Structure formats: structure tokens, C-alpha cells
Amino acid sequence: MSTVLWANVLVSGEVKSDESDHIALYKHADKLDAIALSLGLPSFHALCDTTDLRFNTTDMELPEGVESTHQLMATDGAWMERAAAIELLDALLRHIVEKKVRFGLISNQHAEVVEELTEVLAFARAAGAEATRFNFSVVM
């Protein structure tokens, strides 16, 4: 099983996930973060929440009354305002396409990164104004 990112929005305190495996975004998160910071944008890593990963890789237990990692992430997770996240992701996508940024040493995963960013942006935009926050959950 590989580690991936899932895109999420927060709607009325409830996590709504695309449940799509964004493996290229996870694999190249450090480079995406470096690009974002070089462009004067917020950190890409700031979008990534590790709640689910921590509970799946340790013997931690959910607090009393919490039934899922989504519930815990909704209240205690790392989130960014949805509009700010869309601006960040859109700026990254534009830069990557315009500059034809290479992703990977052996094979170039540029197309995969562009495709996944495009999918995530569509998900975040389609969520509408009732979705106030956005994040990626690191899922294993």
C-alpha cells in the first residue's frame, strides 16, 4: 500500500473527501512546497494534514466520542481557507505549466502532477461557498 494525498473540504464541520489517490502530489510535495515558497505563496505542506497517517501507523486511539479520523481532522486538523487554497493550487498549476517544470529524476511526471492539480482544483471549486476550508489528508 502506498502513501497518497486525498483532497478534502470542510462543510459545516464535516469533512467531504474526493477519496482519489493523488500519488504524484504526495511524491513531489517537497518540490511543490519549494515552488510555492519561491513564488511567495503559502507553503504547500501547510495544506497537508497527517491525522489519518498518524492513527494508521501508530497505536494511538481515537478520543472518547470520536468515531473516525475524519471527525478528529475536522476539529484538530491542518486546514487552509478554501479560497486561499484555490489561489495557491491555481498559481502552482499555472507556474508548472508555463515553465514546463520537471518532476522526477529518471522519468518526468510533469503530466501526472498537472493532471492531479487540475482534478484537485475542480474538486475544491465544485465544493462551493459552503465549503469553508480545504486540506490534503496524508493517507496510507
- For the chain, domain boundaries: 4-139
Q: Is the pLDDT of residue 1 over 70?
A: no
pLDDT at 61: 83
Question: For residue range 23-76, what is the model confidence (pLDDT) as tens digits?
Answer: 999 999 999 999 999 999 999 999 999 999 998 888 888 888 888 899 999 999
User: CA nearest 93: which of 23, 133, 50, 41?
Assistant: 41
Q: Give the global pTM.
A: 0.94
Place 102 in a pLDDT band, splitting at 50, 70 and 90. Answer: very high
Cell 504524484 found at: 24
What phi and psi values does residue 62 have, to the nearest 5 degrees?
Answer: -70, 145
- Residues contacting residue 123 through CB under 8 Å, at least 6 positions apart: 7, 9, 18, 20
pLDDT at 55: 86
